[in-house]
């Protein structure tokens, strides 16, 4: 990994930024899962940004972001099912 982020190819730099954003949206989706609209939207954004990042560069951060976002979607679905069942 290069120490100077500005010297990277612009396409590679954007892919790494999308990977970081994917991981951030994944973490936010874990917390926002109790509000189904917020949890679902942030999870979907995390997955989309992670997939866009993976097209350019195979990055562990993007893979982690996708995994965390999928977990956020699962938490959102479980929360919705529990709310509908006990309502």
Domain boundaries, the chain: 9-85
What is the structure's pLDDT at 5?
A: 62
Distance CA 72, CA 49 (A): 15
Calculate what percentage of the chain has a pLDDT beyond 90: 66
Angle between helical axes of 36-56 and 10-31 (0-180°, round to 10): 160
Q: Is the pLDDT of residue 22 over 90?
A: yes
Q: Maximum distance among all alpha carbons in the chain?
A: 55
Q: What is the pLDDT of residues 43-75, one digit of tens each?
A: 999 999 999 999 998 889 999 999 999 999 999
Distance CA 15, CA 49 (A): 9
């Amino acid at each position: 990994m290069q120490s100077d982020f500005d010297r990277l190819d612009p396409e590679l730099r954007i892919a790494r930024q999308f990977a970081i954003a994917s991981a951030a949206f994944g973490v936010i989706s874990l917390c926002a899962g109790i509000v189904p609209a917020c949890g679902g939207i942030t999870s979907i954004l995390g997955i989309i940004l992670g997939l866009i990042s993976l097209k350019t560069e195979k990055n562990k951060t993007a893979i982690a972001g996708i995994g965390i976002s999928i977990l956020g979607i699962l938490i959102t679905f479980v929360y919705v099912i529990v709310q509908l069942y006990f309502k």
